[in-house]
């Protein structure tokens, strides 16, 4: 590495703990009482859990008893999809935590439809209208895509879903804490969120379940979470999630403006200094912190490794799909060519990033792209 500088630009993969979240969790380290116990130690733990539940509910415009805590966003997604008896409609641009359970349901004999998307990653609403029927149990559409940042029109999708008597689930792991969400206004029946994407601890998620919505637990073996999710509650992580949501409520609006300015600066700098590039995702309806860009004649993995040598951390796509050298399936579904899909990186900004970080990235990135392209046997630019 040329210097000791570290620029972390992979916040959609995971985020550092917010200092106030860390402090809240440290204070709770000695809280060992079982929340189900009736004596004082248990009641204190229970009170902390219910306080956190209230914070999450208020942030989403929900009621506290509509929130259950899970071990992750992935668990929450699997829980909802396990409710499908007949038909599921989802999209080709979902996170693997939806796509893989959907494929499992197919193998079990359920009918599953994967909606197509346009070149910006927007779900085909007309296909949804043609496909949905009175036999459809659930429509599950990601609110904001983890790779390209495109935000879906969940309210319209919910209206269509409910016209046919089906339920709507949205994987909002990348959206919660980044854009305003009110589950009542949007017409959502189930919503998934995760702590570690918004400066909270890993190993904790939450699931919103609209009151009176049909539900059965995915994990059995205990009465916890009002018989909706068995297992002794992870008190420490739940306290951390509650504090995380508190901080999101305070900081989200200003952070959105600041990150959008940094993203604009980064995008303009790439345009001006590097040729043969393609920006992926919707130009407007996109997360303020997410920029996915493809470079012709440059492998994404090579770009990532050379940037890492300079202290810059980015991703080639979803962290849950890393380990595969295949081009991003999300990009291919938007019609991106295999060459550009192979040459894509995902840059995702966070609360600690500064203009200096962007300037440094714009200093290093053009050199890296030139180096990678010089080594390429196919690039003719």
pLDDT tens track for 184-214: 999 999 999 999 999 999 999 999 999 999 9
* CATH at 39: 3.40.640.10
380 within some domain = no
Assess whether 47 and 189 both reside in one domain.
Answer: yes
Same domain? For 184 and 162 the reply is yes
In a domain, 80, yes or no: yes
Residues 182, 328, single domain; the answer is no
Q: How, if at all, do strands 167-171 and 136-140 pair?
A: parallel
Q: Which two tokens stand for residue 217?
A: 């637990």
User: Could you tell me if residue 1 is inside a domain?
Assistant: no
Higher pLDDT, 284 or 381: 284
In terms of domains, do 179 and 144 share one?
yes
Q: Which of 378, 300, 313 is nearest to 340 (CA)?
A: 300
Q: Is residue 82 situated within a structural domain?
A: yes
- Greater model confidence, 378 or 229: 229
173 and 29 part of one domain: yes
- Tokens 């630009």, located at residue: 9
Among 320, 325, 338, 375, the one annotated catalytic: 320
Find out whether 149 and 284 touch, Cβ atoms under 8 Å.
no
Measure the CA angle with vertex 109, ends 107 and 111; round to 5°. Answer: 100
Confidence tier at 44 by pLDDT (50, 70, 90): very high
What would the pLDDT profile of 310-366 be if each residue is shown by its tens digit? 999 999 964 454 455 578 889 999 999 988 999 999 999 999 999 999 999 999 999
Mean pLDDT in residue range 252-267:
98
Domain limits for position 12: 7-16+252-375
Average the pLDDT over 12-34 and give the result: 96
> What integer pLDDT is reported at residue 324 of this predicted model?
53
Conformational region of residue 193, where left means phi above 0, alpha means psi within -120 to 50, and beta covers everything else? beta
Residues 105 and 131 in one domain: yes
Q: Return the residue matching tokens 């206004």.
A: 185
- Whether the Cβ atoms of residue 307 and residue 365 lie closer than 8 Å to each other: yes
Residue 63 sits in the same domain as residue 104:
yes
CATH at residue 299? 3.90.1150.10
**260 and 200, same structural domain?**
no
Residue 2 banded pLDDT, cuts 50, 70, 90: very low
157 and 110 co-located in one domain: yes
* Position 8 pLDDT exceeds 80: yes
Is 100 a catalytic site residue?
no
* Residue 325 forms part of a structural domain: yes
- Measured CA to CA, the distance from residue 197 to residue 72 in angstroms comes to 11
Q: Are residues 38 and 155 in the same domain?
A: yes
DSSP state of 243: H
pLDDT tops 70 at residue 1 = no
Q: What global pTM score does this model have?
A: 0.95
- Over pLDDT 90: what percentage of the chain? 92
Quote the pLDDT of residue 325. Answer: 59
What ranges make up the beta strands (E) of the chain? 7-8, 67-70, 87-91, 111-115, 136-140, 167-171, 190-194, 205-209, 277-280, 290-295, 312-313, 344-348
What would the mean pLDDT of 123-152 be, rounded to a whole number?
Answer: 97
Is 210 a member of any domain?
yes
Q: Is residue 140 part of a domain?
A: yes
- pLDDT tens for residues 76-86? 999 999 999 99
Q: Using an 8 Å Cβ cutoff, are 140 and 80 in contact?
A: yes
- Cα(285)–Cα(283) distance, integer angstroms: 6
φ, ψ for residue 348, nearest 5 deg: -125, 120
Q: Are residues 270 and 175 in the same domain?
A: no
Distances in Å between the Cα of 191 and the Cα atoms of 28, 36, 51, 123, 153 are 27, 26, 20, 18, 15
Helix axes of 73-81 and 96-107: crossing angle, nearest 10 degrees: 30
Number of structural domains (the chain) is 2
The pLDDT tens digits of the residues spanning 212-231 come to: 999 999 999 999 999 999 99
- The answer to whether position 293 is within a domain reads yes
DSSP string computed for 217-283: -SS-S--HHHHTS-S---HHHHHHHHHHHHHHHHHHHHHHHHHHHHHHHHHHHHHHH-SSEEEES-S
């Amino acid at each position: 590495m040329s210097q000791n500088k570290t620029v972390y630009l992979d916040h959609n993969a995971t985020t550092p703990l917010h200092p106030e979240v860390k402090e809240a969790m440290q204070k709770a380290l000695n809280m060992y009482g079982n929340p189900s116990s009736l004596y004082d130690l248990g009641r204190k733990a229970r009170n902390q859990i219910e306080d956190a539940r209230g914070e999450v509910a208020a942030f989403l415009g929900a009621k506290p008893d509509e929130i259950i805590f899970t071990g992750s966003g992935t668990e929450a997604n699997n829980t909802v999809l396990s409710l499908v008896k007949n038909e599921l409609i989802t999209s080709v641009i979902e996170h693997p935590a939806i796509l893989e359970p959907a494929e499992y349901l197919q193998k079990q004999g359920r009918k599953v439809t994967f909606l197509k998307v346009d070149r910006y990653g927007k779900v085909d609403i007309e296909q949804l209208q043609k496909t949905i029927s009175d036999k459809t149990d659930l429509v599950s559409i990601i609110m904001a895509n983890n790779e390209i940042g495109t935000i879906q029109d969940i309210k319209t999708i919910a209206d269509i879903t409910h016209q046919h008597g089906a339920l709507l689930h949205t994987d909002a792991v990348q959206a919660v804490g980044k854009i305003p969400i009110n589950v009542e206004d949007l017409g959502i029946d189930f919503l998934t969120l995760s702590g570690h994407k918004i400066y909270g601890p890993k190993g904790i998620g939450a699931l919103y379940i609209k009151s009176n919505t049909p539900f059965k637990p995915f994990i059995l073996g205990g009465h916890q979470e009002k018989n909706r999710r068995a297992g002794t509650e992870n008190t420490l992580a739940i306290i951390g999630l509650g504090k995380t949501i508190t901080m999101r409520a305070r900081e989200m609006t200003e952070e959105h403006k600041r990150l959008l300015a940094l993203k604009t600066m980064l995008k303009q700098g790439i345009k001006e200094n590097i040729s043969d590039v393609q920006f992926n995702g919707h130009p407007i309806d996109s997360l303020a912190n997410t920029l996915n860009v493809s470079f012709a004649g440059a492998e994404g993995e090579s770009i990532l490794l050379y940037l890492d040598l300079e202290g810059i951390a980015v991703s080639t796509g979803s962290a849950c799909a890393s380990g595969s050298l295949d081009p991003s399936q999300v990009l291919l579904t938007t019609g991106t060519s295999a060459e550009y899909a192979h040459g894509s990186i995902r840059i995702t900004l966070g609360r600690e990033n500064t203009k200096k970080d962007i300037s440094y990235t714009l200093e290093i990135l053009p050199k890296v792209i030139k180096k990678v392209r010089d080594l390429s046997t196919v690039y003719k630019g």
